[in-house]
Amino acid sequence: MKRKNGTRRGIALAFCLLVAVLAAGCGGSQGASTQPANTVRLGYFPNLTHMAAIVALEKGYFQEELGTEITLETKTFPNGGLFMEAMSTGELDVGYVGPGPAMNNYLKNPAHQVIAGAVNGGAVLEVRGDAGISSVEDLDGKRVAIPVIGSTQDIMLRKTLKEVGLNIKTNGGTVEMIAQAPADTATLFLQKDVDAAATQEPWGINLEQKAGAKLLLNWDQFAWGKESTNTVVVATKSFLSANPDLSKKLLQAHVRAVQFVRDNPDEAVQLLIQHIKKLTGKELQAADIRQAMDRSEVTWNVNEEVLREMAAISKEAGYTRSDNLDGFVNLTYLQEVVKE
C-alpha cells in the first residue's frame, strides 16, 4: 500500500512539474510577444521591382519612422526562395518579395502575411532575335528561362502558355522551362541555350541591349498585364502581433517611398543607380532604369483576386497541395496608414 501511495504521489508531482513547465513556457512566450522589438530585420532584392524599399532606405524613411531607439538591419537576397527561407527560419521580420514564393511558402507554413503591395507589372516575355518566335504559340518545343522554379514569372509563364493551349514539359507539355539567375540569362541567349525568357525588370531591358532580345509580351500584356502583382511587402505574423506600431511605421515609410517615386521619377532613378551600385558594384544606365520603370507601376495596393488565380496555377503545377489563401493578405495596418 505504501508503495502504491508513493507511486501516486510521484505521478502527481510529475504532473504538477509538467503543468508548471508548460505554464512557464506559455507565460514566457506571451510575455515576449507583447514586448516591442528593439531591432527590425528587413529583406529585399537589389533590383528595380524593389524600388520602394531602395528609395525608402536611400531617403532614410524607415529609420525616420522607426525612430532612434529602434535599430534597422537590412539584408539582400538573389531570389524569393532564399528570402522565404530566411523569413521561415526567423532571420527576417519584414521585407519585399514576389507573391509566388510568398504564396507557395504560406500554403505550407502560414507564418507570414502580405501587408501591402509594392510593384505591379515589371515582368516581360523576351525572345531570342533569331529563334523564329513571333507569337506565344511559337514557344511550342522551345526552351524558356525563368528566375527560379515557383517564382512569380514561372506562374505568369504558365498562365500565358495555358491561354494558347501549351504547357510545361514537366506537366506533360512541350515547353521546357530553365531556371537561371536573371543577371546570367543574357549569356544563355548569346550561347543559344534558351529561346526566350520570362523575367523581371531591368533584366528585360538588359536582354534587349546585351543579347539582341526582342520583346514578345510587354508588361501590360504578359499574364495579368497591369494587374500583375510583381512584388509585395510581407511580415511574419509574430512580428505583426507583437509590434503593431512598428508595423504601421514601416508601412508609413513604404507609402512615403511609393509617393516619392511617383512624384520624383528622375531623382528616384539616381537613387536606384547609386544603391544598386553599392550592393553589386554594377552601375546601371539612367535611360535603362527609366525605361524599365515605365514597364512597372509602383504601388501599395494588392489585387487579391490575381493572387488567388496564381495560387490555383501553382497548385496545378504541383508546387502546393492547396490553393486556399485565406488569411494570406492582411491590409489592416496599411488601411490605418493610408487613412492617416
Averaged pLDDT for residues 17-32: 34
pLDDT score for 285:
87
Percent of the chain at pLDDT > 70 equals: 89
CB contact set of 34 (below 8 Å; sequence gap of 6+): 242
More confident residue, 114 or 35: 114
What's the gap between Cα 331 and its chain centre?
16
Averaged pLDDT for residues 293-304: 93
| pTM for the model | 0.82
More confident residue, 203 or 215: 215
Under DSSP, is residue 177 helix (H, G, I), strand (E, B) or coil?
Answer: strand
pLDDT score for 35:
63
Averaged pLDDT for residues 99-116: 94
AA identity, residue 335: Q
Question: Exposure string (b/e) for 64-103, b if CB count within 10 Å is 16 or more?
Answer: ebbeeebebeeebbebbbebbebbeeeebbbbbbbbbbbb
Neighbours of 129 (CB within 10 A): 13
Confidence of residue 258 (pLDDT cuts 50, 70, 90): very high
pLDDT score for 339:
85
Neighbours of 28 (CB within 10 A): 10
Q: Please, are residues 178 and 188 in contact by the beta-carbon 8 Å criterion?
A: yes
Name the residue among 305, 307, 310, 299 with its Cα closest to residue 334: 299
Percent of the chain at pLDDT > 90 equals: 73
- The answer to whether residue 148 scores a pLDDT higher than 50 is yes
